[in-house]
């Protein structure tokens, strides 16, 4: 493990975005710098921080928002990472090749280098979340990255509903699972379903922390973004929870915020020895997990 300290300060960037990618990048970089000045050592952005959440519609013009990796965003993030000696997780729209695009998170180490990448594995296709039009499913698998401040795993938004992704990333040695996110309410549904939807979202991720004995960090965006049927009201409430599933820090519903909390990695072994789920797994009995459905 690259990190030498058992305590690491994590910063999560929660922001509204505009239609100007350059302005979004500059504002996010400034927020990362502010987080570093407040003592954050690992900082994570929300999902697709350079743009509005364009997946509300199927529009070929939106492919122009994508960028190569390495590219302008990794250059900007790497510069800040090196200058302030921090690790940065950034969520980007990757142009890999003509006709091949991914929803990709990069890990910039504290020396400014591109330490690793994760391409979103689970791609949704729901009303106002039309991601299958834009993103090819990831092909890098679930893995952890050694950084100056610890071994971290990265998944992206819709991945957060799948216990398999969290488990495999934890088994790769991740001490913190980061989930850059863009999720919110359909305004017409909020009154009836809003609380239950948010509760489900928070609960599933806290359960990943408990089941795997890891910290879970979730930066979400905020603000209303126009679209068909009233658009999306992103619900913010970025949070970080401990390996026992308890919320350590939580942001507001509607404000731009920099959320910072300290992770004590010594708690991981304590949690896993008191709740020894990894010890008691029946790996000999899980072969059917790779089947789509078990008939009969």
Beta strands 257-264 and 247-250: pairing type? unpaired
Helix, strand, or coil (residue 26): helix
Helices (H), 38-158: 72-84
Active site residue 157: yes
Active site residue 55: no
34's tokens: 């502010």
Helix, strand counts (H, E) of the chain: 6, 17
Distance CA 244, CA 252 (A): 22
Q: What are phi and psi of 139, to 5 degrees?
A: -130, 15
User: CB–CB of 104/118 below 8 Å?
Assistant: yes
Active-site residue, from 50, 67, 94, 120: 120
Active-site residue, from 50, 157, 241, 263: 157
Active-site residue, from 47, 67, 94, 225: 47
Helix, strand, or coil (residue 3): coil
Distance CA 48, CA 239 (A): 18
User: CB–CB of 159/180 below 8 Å?
Assistant: no
Give the closest residue to 266 by CA, choosing from 215, 212, 216, 218: 215
Active site residue 120: yes
Name the residues annotated as catalytic: 47, 120, 157
């Amino acid at each position: 493990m690259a990190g030498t300290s058992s305590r690491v300060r994590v910063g999560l960037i929660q922001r509204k975005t505009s239609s100007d990618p350059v302005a979004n990048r500059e504002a996010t970089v400034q927020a990362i710098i502010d987080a570093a000045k407040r003592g954050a050592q690992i900082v994570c952005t929300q999902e697709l921080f350079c743009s509005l959440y364009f997946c509300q519609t199927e529009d070929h013009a939106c492919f122009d928002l994508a960028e190569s990796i390495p590219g302008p965003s990794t250059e900007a993030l790497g510069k800040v990472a090196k200058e302030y000696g921090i690790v940065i997780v950034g969520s980007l729209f990757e142009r890999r090749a003509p006709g091949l695009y991914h929803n990709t998170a990069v890990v910039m180490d504290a020396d400014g280098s591109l330490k690793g990448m994760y391409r979103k594995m689970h791609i949704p296709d729901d009303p106002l979340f039309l991601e299958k039009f834009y993103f090819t499913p990831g092909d890098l698998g679930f893995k952890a990255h050694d950084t100056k401040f610890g071994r971290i795993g990265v998944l992206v938004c819709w991945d957060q509903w799948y216990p398999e992704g969290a488990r495999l990333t934890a088994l790769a040695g991740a001490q913190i699972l980061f989930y850059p996110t863009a999720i919110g309410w359909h305004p017409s549904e909020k009154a009836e379903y809003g609380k239950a939807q948010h509760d489900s979202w928070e609960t599933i991720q806290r359960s990943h922390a408990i089941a795997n004995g890891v910290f879970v960090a979730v930066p979400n965006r905020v603000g209303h973004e126009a679209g068909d049927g009233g658009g999306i009201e992103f619900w913010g409430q970025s949070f970080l929870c401990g390996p026992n599933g308890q919320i350590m820090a939580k942001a507001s519903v509607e404000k731009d915020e920099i959320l910072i909390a300290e992770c004590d990695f010594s708690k991981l072994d304590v949690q896993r020895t008191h709740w020894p789920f990894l010890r008691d797994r029946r790996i000999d009995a899980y072969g059917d997990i790779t089947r789509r459905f078990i008939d009969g």
